[in-house]
A and B are shown apart, each in its own frame.
Chain A
């Protein structure tokens, strides 16, 4: 029995408290589920519609863009939820792609399983790598991850990616190099683009579920400050490691999907600078809203391709990206996605006012 001393005298039963607040909670919950459905629906719709408007080259480009969006979503979790700067996401993508390729060529497992193997591999590496770095100042984490990306660059340059051979490295010589076997449900390029969109929607949904439950609440407390987190009983190390694992999983899945898109991965294409670019463009795209990851992938692959189509030098894109990163850091912490969402909300509010004030 709880005495509501605010009201003064009335003695109320506990159950009344919960009943009183249920409608409001239910309203919030409905809204949350609506935006969740909107997110999944939008991504699936994009996947459905894009192939109708794209030629063969653009289908491939957009598929790569969506695969990178999956990885970018992981970067957004670390930076947006915990303020942690990871400069090795592309390397983790490569690691996941490596594992997926090895398993696909060596064990001929179904594609979905290969993707999961890639995701789990990078999840594990991400957590291992994150552990020693987590007890350090934020800048040291950025440096550690950058060093790891540099190390991966050297290693993968030497070893290359599996392409059908035997042994640990799975490399084969000459013309017998194999392409990764596409999923049974999506052999064609157009179908594979849709397939990748489904995976993107699934990964974004996984992240959203994290954000709305215990993990998201704990991350928010850690963001508020270590003292606040400890006072609420949050095990900071455990939840940071979890975030690293989730981000690694995103990278690994993205890498496997990229491997499936192109058929093989090139060991010379995983320079440390790629991870740096991925972080920069994820910040530009926006780290708090799910659309930010989508935008990041498009910036990484689609925009340079677009510029090439228009005959514009790709390096102008780099200048623009650098300026956009500075701008995002200085003025717009929520990135392009945040600004778009804000603009949409303002537009909706204005339309509502117009509707209510019209006679």
Chain B
């Protein structure tokens, strides 16, 4: 058990990000019907923006803010300008559109910053909590602690938003039945804006954290959205708590799989295996007639 503990902790760190990414995906999907394949790319470009600013000695908080702002603005740009052009088509095509957007953002990011892997070193990396648990000593960098805290705060905030505010109510109505909600007078455009904004904010934060935890490389960050999809699938693209649980479990299992004899080289496949298992176990997802 002792050897597993550091992996458990690091898995929690990544898992929290997967969970947050999953929430960002599901919230947008439920209210606008679009599964955002560009989620990772938006996070990537935000992380690069932060990196550039930090290289120019900007204060950390501002760099983070600029990163999230970049993701939010790009997300809004797609949501308000391009997404409406695909609005009359079926859900699959509306989501594939974000794939095109992902390629544009990814291409731009790699063109601007180059493809070589970098490290997004944050000042909070050098400071850490160290404490002794029953299993052994654990070292948790400030960044990871901050990440975990941020993840918890943001997910709690979204839960509150959806259940306590008027906007949240409208988002839930839209998720339930978009056309009916529009007929009932809910300002679909206004609610969509909030949804894309939230999704962009989540993307920005997740991009920063993943760039720090894994590495700063555009293609990698863009396609780390796939484990986030896996978390969303665990939540059946519907339930936020299940998505959070799914993300954390995926992150932890993926990290702990290092200790599994024989399976260790394949541990990065853990999200896919979990997602496939969930899909195969899914019932009631019949094709509409």
Q: Interface on A for B, CB 8 Å cutoff?
A: 83, 85, 132-140, 142-144, 146-148, 150-151, 154-155, 158, 225-227, 271-273, 276-277, 279-280, 283, 313, 315-326, 329-330
The contact sample of 8 A-B pairs, CB cut-off 8 A, is A136-B279, A140-B279, A151-B273, A154-B272, A318-B111, A319-B104, A323-B104, A326-B82
Contact B269 A155 (CB under 8 A): yes
Contact B279 A144 (CB under 8 A): yes
CB distance from A183 to the nearest CB of B (A): 35
Residues of B within 8 A of A272 (CB): 223, 226
Contact A139 B95 (CB under 8 A): yes
Contact B107 A225 (CB under 8 A): no
| Cα–Cα distance between A226 and B288 once the two chains are bound (Å) | 8
Contact B92 A225 (CB under 8 A): no
Contact B223 A329 (CB under 8 A): no
A-B contact count (CB 8 A): 145
Contact A276 B280 (CB under 8 A): no
| Cα–Cα distance between A171 and B262 once the two chains are bound (Å) | 18
With contact pairs A144-B276, A325-B103 given, residues A155 and B266 touching in the complex (Cβ less than 8 Å)? yes
Q: Which of A151, A273, A326 is close to B219, meaning CB atoms less than 8 Å apart?
A: A273
Interface centre among A138, A226, A313, A324 (most CB of B within 10 A): A138
| Cα–Cα distance between A74 and B219 once the two chains are bound (Å) | 26
Residues of A within 8 A of B82 (CB): 326, 330
Contact B102 A322 (CB under 8 A): yes
CB distance from B66 to the nearest CB of A (A): 22
Contact B110 A315 (CB under 8 A): yes
Residues of A within 8 A of B265 (CB): 158
| Cα–Cα distance between A276 and B223 once the two chains are bound (Å) | 10
Which residues 90-131 of B sit at the A interface, judged by CB distance below 8 A?
90-93, 95-97, 99-108, 110-111, 115
Contact A322 B103 (CB under 8 A): yes
| Cα–Cα distance between A330 and B93 once the two chains are bound (Å) | 9
CB distance from A308 to the nearest CB of B (A): 14
CB distance from B138 to the nearest CB of A (A): 28
Which residues 247-289 of B sit at the A interface, judged by CB distance below 8 A?
265-266, 268-269, 271-273, 275-276, 279-280, 282, 285-289
Contact A319 B272 (CB under 8 A): no
| Cα–Cα distance between A132 and B287 once the two chains are bound (Å) | 12
Contact A136 B282 (CB under 8 A): yes
CB distance from A235 to the nearest CB of B (A): 14
Q: Which 10 A-B pairs have the closest CB atoms?
A: A322-B103, A318-B107, A325-B100, A322-B104, A319-B107, A326-B100, A315-B111, A154-B269, A138-B92, A151-B272
Residues of A within 8 A of B201 (CB): none
Q: Which of A227, A279, A322, A330 is close to B289, meaning CB atoms less than 8 Å apart?
A: A227
Contact B96 A330 (CB under 8 A): no
Other than A135-B286, A280-B103, give 6 A-B pairs with Cβ distance below 8 A. Answer: A137-B285, A147-B271, A155-B269, A273-B223, A280-B99, A326-B100
CB distance from A334 to the nearest CB of B (A): 14
Contact B90 A329 (CB under 8 A): no
Q: Which of B102, B107, B279 is close to A315, meaning CB atoms less than 8 Å apart?
A: B107
